[in-house]
Amino acid sequence: EKRLKKSRGHIESIAKQLAKLSQKIDKGQLHGQDKIGVRVGKVINKYKVSKHFDLDIRDNDFSFGINRDKVKKEAALDGIYIVRTSLSREKMDADETVRSYKLLSQAERAFRSFKTIDLMVRPIRHRLEDRVRAHIFLCMLAYYVQWHMMEAWRPLLYADEDQKAKDLRDPVAPAKRSDSAMKKVRTKRLDDGTRVHSFRSLLCHLGAIVRATCRCSGDRETSATFTMITRRNPKQQKAFDLLQTIRV
């Protein structure tokens, strides 16, 4: 419905602009089929709705009309997508095909993470082809590790934990988060009352764990040294326990 309103708005906007252009031509302010065509093209290609208009461009005249039949036909198909696959029905049925298509969003999220958010693949400070490939490969491995960490940490993040529900719901219908996930978003608290984290904030929370080298009092050169690691709080320990569940 939103797409339909937006499309109609674009058509009406273009029609108004074409009407103003037609008035200029009638007043003799613009003439010549080629010049008129260029001006019309700039207007009609703005929202890619030229297919909905019938145009008649001449040296000293210009007229247009909206092709209502085309508008109605496109409106009937608006929001409808066809997903095709070369696989047989035995290997992948219709529901699996749609779910697989929707998984492309994960690939898009990975590229966005590569380029701007987490991994920051640029700048690439290499010139040799094999080194550039190695750099990209390491970034890919880093994202692979990050993905598994995010999956393991779902109970601590603003993530939906009910993954099995994805296989049961209508694959065509818009995805809806579970009640438990929406509760985390609304309250910003887990069931135990502690804060819900994003992936980044949880990493920062774990960053408080440090390993310190300590030295016994006395002569600096002869006194013994030992290592101490920060004792984990319950949230940090839970995060480490969840990482132990990763199976690759």
Structural domains of the chain, count: 1
pLDDT (tens digit, 9 = 90+) per residue, 177-233? 888 889 999 999 999 999 999 999 999 999 999 999 988 887 777 788 889 999 999
pLDDT band at 119 (very low <50, low <70, confident <90, very high): low
Asked if residue 137 belongs to a domain, the reply is no
Cα radius of gyration rounded to whole Å, the chain: 30
pTM as predicted: 0.62
Structure-model confidence comparison of residues 144 and 174, the more confident one = 144
pLDDT (tens digit, 9 = 90+) per residue, 51-77? 889 999 888 888 999 988 888 888 887
pLDDT band at 148 (very low <50, low <70, confident <90, very high): very high
Asked if residue 30 belongs to a domain, the reply is yes
Residues 170, 83: Cα–Cα separation, whole Å: 15
Q: What is the pLDDT of residue 198?
A: 94
Asked if residue 23 belongs to a domain, the reply is yes
Residue 136 has pLDDT above 80, yes or no: yes
Asked if residue 51 belongs to a domain, the reply is yes
Mean pLDDT of the chain: 87
Asked if residue 162 belongs to a domain, the reply is no
Asked if residue 14 belongs to a domain, the reply is yes
Residue 44 belongs to domain spanning: 2-77
Residues 185, 182: Cα–Cα separation, whole Å: 5
Residues 231, 209: Cα–Cα separation, whole Å: 7
Residues 53/14, Cβ–Cβ less than 8 Å: yes
DSSP symbols for the chain: -HHHHHHHHHHHHHHHHHHHHHHHHHTTSS--HHHHHHHHHHHHTTTT-GGGEEEEE-SS-EEEEE-HHHHHHHHHHTT------SS-TTTS-HHHHHHHHHTHHHHHHHHHIIIIISS--------SHHHHHHHHHHHHHHHHHHHHHHHHTGGGBTS----GGGGTS-SSSPP---HHHHHHHHH-B-TTSPBPB-HHHHHHHHTT--EEEEE-SS-TTTS-EEEEEPPPPHHHHHHHHHHTT---
pLDDT (tens digit, 9 = 90+) per residue, 149-176? 999 999 999 998 887 777 777 888 777 8
What b/e readout covers 139-172, taking b as 16+ CB neighbours within 10 angstroms? beeebeebeebeebbeebbebbeeeeeeeeeebe
As given in the structure block, the two tokens for residue 91 are: 């290997």
Q: What is the pLDDT of residue 127?
A: 81
Q: What is the pLDDT of residue 211?
A: 93
Residues 239/206, Cβ–Cβ less than 8 Å: yes
DSSP symbols for 154-215: GGGBTS----GGGGTS-SSSPP---HHHHHHHHH-B-TTSPBPB-HHHHHHHHTT--EEEEE
Asked if residue 10 belongs to a domain, the reply is yes
Asked if residue 226 belongs to a domain, the reply is no
